A = this chain, B = another copy of it.
Amino acid sequence: MSLSRRNVGKTRTRDVGRGIPDATIARLPVYVRVLKTMSDDGVTTVSSEDLAASCGVSPAKLRKDLSHLGSYGTRGVGYDVAFLAYHVSRELGLTKPWGVVIIGVGNLGQALVSYRGFATRGFEVVGLVDAHPDVVGTSISVGGGELTVTSLDDLARLVARTGAQIGVISTPAEAAQRVADSLVAAGIRSILNFAPVVLCVPDGVEVRKVDLAVELQILAFHEQRRGEKPLPEVMHA
C-alpha cells in the first residue's frame, strides 16, 4: 500500500483546471477587478506587461498564474480583456451570485451592510443576525430592499430558506466561536471572520480571517525596523 502518492514525479505539465496554487487563487480576484475596470474604460486588449503593472505583480507571475487556467492569450498580441475577465471570473465561481449572511450587526456589521462592493462583485446579503434585543427585529435597507435582523436561533432556518453559502462573523471576539459553531451547524461551509480569535471548525469548512490589528502590527514591525537600521550606533541594552 501507500505506493507512490498520486502524481508521481515528472513535470506534470497538464494540471490545468485542477490543482491551481493557493497563491495564484489569492491573486485572481485582483486580476478580475482590474480587467473589469479596463473593460469599462474601453480597453479591448492588454499585454501581460501592462496588466501586471496595473495589478502590482511581475509579468512572469501573471502569465504563470493565467497559464494555470488555460491558454486565453494570443502570442504577439496579448489578452482580450473581456474574454479573459470572463474566464477568470468563471474560474473563481463568480458566474452565479452567492448568498451572504452577516452575524453581528454592530459598528462593523452595519458598515458591511452598507458596503456597495458586495453587490457589484456578485455577493448578495440575504440575512442579518444579531443577539441583542434592541437590534433583533429592526429593519435595515441593504442593496435594493430591506432585511429584518433575526435572532441567532433562527440561523438554521434562515440559511435553509435563503440558500446562503457564506457567513460573515462581525460579533465581539467572545461570541465568535459560538457563532461559528452555529454557522457550521446551519450548513455553512465558508466563513469570513473579523473577530480577533482563532476559530476551530471541522474539516471541510473554510475559514478566512480579516484582522485589522494583525495588519497594523505587521506595519509596526517594519516601521520599527526602519527606524533602528539607519543608525550605525545603537544605544540599547
Q: Which A positions have Cβ atoms within 8 angstroms of B? A: 25-26, 28-30, 32-34, 54-56, 91-94, 98, 100, 107-108, 110-112, 114-115, 117-118, 121-123, 165-166, 189-192, 196, 198-200, 204, 206, 208, 210-226
Contacts and interface: CB of A to CB of B under 8 A. Distances in A.
Given A25-B218, A29-B217, A92-B220, 15 more contacts: A26-B214, A26-B218, A30-B214, A93-B221, A107-B111, A112-B212, A118-B213, A121-B217, A192-B212, A192-B215, A192-B216, A204-B226, A208-B219, A210-B210, A210-B212
Nearest to A56: B198
A93 B25 CA distance: 32
A121 B216 contact: yes
Contacts of A213: 29, 33, 117-118, 121, 123
A61 to B, nearest CB: 14
Contacts of A91: 221
B94 A220 contact: yes
Contact of A223 (B28, B33, B111, B189): B189
30 contacts: A25-B218, A26-B218, A28-B217, A28-B221, A29-B213, A29-B214, A29-B217, A30-B211, A55-B198, A56-B199, A93-B217, A93-B220, A93-B221, A94-B217, A98-B220, A98-B223, A107-B110, A107-B115, A108-B111, A117-B196, A121-B213, A121-B216, A165-B223, A190-B220, A190-B223, A192-B212, A206-B219, A206-B222, A206-B223, A208-B219
